Structure 1
């Protein structure tokens, strides 16, 4: 069991909190019992799992000894609770994490309905949208000038959604050129999404929390849609709005 915060493996995992080191190592971290179990179940490219002895036992894993081939396909690292706390920014850490290889950022046209996120800056909102997209059976998301999809806060908010969708990080011009579907913009001045009838597949574009959709994406769009609101409410959280519109558009196809 590792009891020193200065252990090289611990320092490496800790460094993955920062985007720079996630990019250099092509790895990210998923924290918590549920996400670790999902990563194992989905056979993701796990580099290592680190946790307290209690949590590793709960999952059914044994610490990897030096030179041992444990048969898991990844290393298992046991650490003290103090050391684990140094590797996470969670207020109430669950005592287990997985370091996972990032998927390739291969840019290609969507295979069906997709999402274009234009400047979503809050990791929590981004994670919520990824989670909702996965639930709505949307396979591809294009992220232009957004928060990092592999930020620990995004991964946590996505609740496993990140494991089930393809995330393409690119600039907005590249995204628009790749997307071979009608682009529908979420905009407060748009048509009521619940009465809009749309043929075929679509790309829903959602803009920055404060400034909305960029002019470039807006000018590339076929139509604008909005969620009708009452009682003087002028806008919704980006994640909430995206979720409502996603499901409304999906429902119109039935």
Structure 2
């Protein structure tokens, strides 16, 4: 019979809970993934969690760990809720090594500039990955590997190409990417580009800085015949990436 941890003061639980803090994640080079869908996606992509906490009735996780030769620890629902970063946790809660950022390449790349909301960042990573785009972040953008961002990404992080840029305009020009800035009005309508682009998306509150817009090659605006002033940043990014990706078909017979 396997031991079931019942105390939230257990050192293993405290170590997992420490990853709720960004400073701790950076120092240890680790982060949390939670829930059966995200956990399964990461295992399918070859990730090997260093810690797995699951409840005794989570048969799917227990079987997956046995099948992949991954150690796991059984915990009570209460202990799982303390280890988790969510209010309504789902088993399992697992620790993975945070992957190193990938380098830029001559490939369509979504660049998040000062996008602070974790939900928006995770949603944009999910959409970009689905459409085959890379993702880069700069400025005060939320931590790409925070548990909240990973949760919003719904497993996309296991397949995503993510990087962080200190000087985005210079870096993007060095990789011969066409820099496209999203602006509220006055830009061209988005469309397919024959060359790889870097699509800059700013925060909902402030958008892109004048410096970013001036340093771009093209400025685009989503036409909104319905009269709305603006869109949620993640929605706008999704619409724009789709419009710029050569995937649209035809409804003609």
TM-score by structure 1 length?
0.88
Superposition pairs of residues 52-201 of structure 1, within 5 angstroms: 52-55=55-58, 57-61=59-63, 72-106=68-102, 108-138=103-133, 140-145=134-139, 146-173=141-168, 175-176=171-172, 178-189=174-185, 190-193=187-190, 196=191, 198-201=193-196
- The answer to whether the Cα contact below 8 Å between 1:197 and 1:252 also exists between their aligned partners in 2 is no
2:76, 2:146 → 1: CA distance? Answer: 24
Are the aligned partners of 1:52 and 1:95 in contact in 2 as well (CA < 8 Å)? yes
Gapped runs of 5+ residues in structure 2?
none
| Distance (Å, rounded) in 2 between the aligned partners of 1:178 and 1:50 | 44
- Secondary structure (helix, strand or coil) at the match of 1:227 reads coil
Show CA shifts across 1:188-233 (max 9, x none).
Answer: 121122xx45322111110112111123321221111111113331
CA distance in 2, matches of 1:102, 1:234: 38
Please list, as runs of the form range in 1=range in 2, the aligned pairs for 1:5-84 lying within 5 A after superposition.
5-55=8-58, 57-61=59-63, 72-84=68-80
Provide the C-alpha distance between the structure 2 equivalents of 1:120 and 1:216, rounded to a whole number of angstroms.
17
Unaligned runs of 5+ in 1: 64-69
What's the counterpart of residue 245 of structure 2?
A: 250
2:229 aligned residue: 234
Distance 1:99 1:179 in 2: 34
Taking a change above 3 Å as real, the CA distance of residues 177 and 22 of structure 1, as seen in their structure-2 partners, is: farther
Cα distance in 1 for residues equivalent to 2:44 and 2:173: 35
Q: In the TM superposition, what is the alpha-carbon distance from 1:252 to its structure 2 partner?
A: 7.9
TM-score by length of 2: 0.88
Q: Give the 3 Å change call, closer, same or farther, for CA 62–34 of structure 1 in structure 2.
A: closer
Q: Is the 8 A contact 1:22 1:28 kept in 2?
A: yes
**Counterpart-to-counterpart distance in 1, 2:176 and 2:203:** 22
2:214 partner SS: helix
CA-CA distance at 1:74 after TM superposition: 3.4
| Residues 180 and 216, structure 2, Cα contact 8 Å, conserved in 1 | yes
